[in-house]
Chain A
Amino acid sequence: QKEVEQNSGPLSVPEGAIASLNCTYSDRGSQSFFWYRQYSGKSPELIMFIYSNGDKEDGRFTAQLNKASQYVSLLIRDSQPSDSATYLCAVNMRYGNKLVFGAGTILRVKS
């Protein structure tokens, strides 16, 4: 089992729709969770972080965390073509004391 798993996609959504990106992790002791966006040819950029169960909203982005199910998700409302990128889930693993990234989900927003 991979430490952090994401569906590689691509996930295609029409402009204006909600994009839902999912991530599961293996270490139950993990305590902080991050979503990064990476455009082609660029480095990852932090867009959201979440520590507690429930939802955290920031503009068009909502991060959701369910520690019991070891599941993190990112919702992007009113998706725009500029949101087209690879979205990386990252988990601070208590086991091994390191920040581990998933392989990323490619999102394509079609206008």
Chain B
Amino acid sequence: KAGVTQTPRYLIKTRGQQVTLSCSPISGHRSVSWYQQTPGQGLQFLFEYFSETQRNKGNFPGRFSGRQFSNSRSEMNVSTLELGDSALYLCASSSDRWKYGYTFGSGTRLTVV
């Protein structure tokens, strides 16, 4: 069974640009969440999607957005990039997060210069 796949693995962008990250969950998983991980802040919740609907959102500015498609694949977008957006962005999927928690992808390392 394939795991959670995130693309690309690494990305370098310039301040002010926008970026789109992609996530393919484990087959059958309808819940997808995104987290930002930095050395200073740890794992911070961005948003969660279930069956194409955003269920909740973390405390991030509106520049961070996401969506989920009918096949459960998800994308997140960050517009007007800032240096502080440099981080590891992790996608995670679950069949039932309350019972089984999440399985994480390998992440996308975003560097903003």
A residues touching B (Cβ–Cβ < 8 Å)?
A: 31-32, 34, 36, 42-46, 49, 51, 88, 90, 92, 96-104
Q: Are A101 and B33 neighbours in the complex by a CB distance under 8 Å?
A: no
Q: With A and B bound together, what is the CA distance between A101 and B99 in angstroms?
A: 16
- What class of interface size applies to chain B in its complex with A? 20 to 34
Q: Is there a chain A Cβ closer than 8 Å to B63's Cβ?
A: no
8 A-B pairs besides A88-B42, A101-B45, A102-B42 with CB distance below 8 A are A34-B101, A42-B106, A43-B90, A90-B101, A97-B56, A99-B102, A101-B42, A104-B42
Asked if B42 and A49 sit within 8 Å, CB to CB, the answer is no
CB within 8 Å for A103 and B42 given contacts A43-B105, A44-B90, A92-B98: yes
Question: Of A31, A36, A102, A103, which contacts B98 at CB under 8 A?
Answer: A31
A92, B98: Cα distance in complex, Å = 6
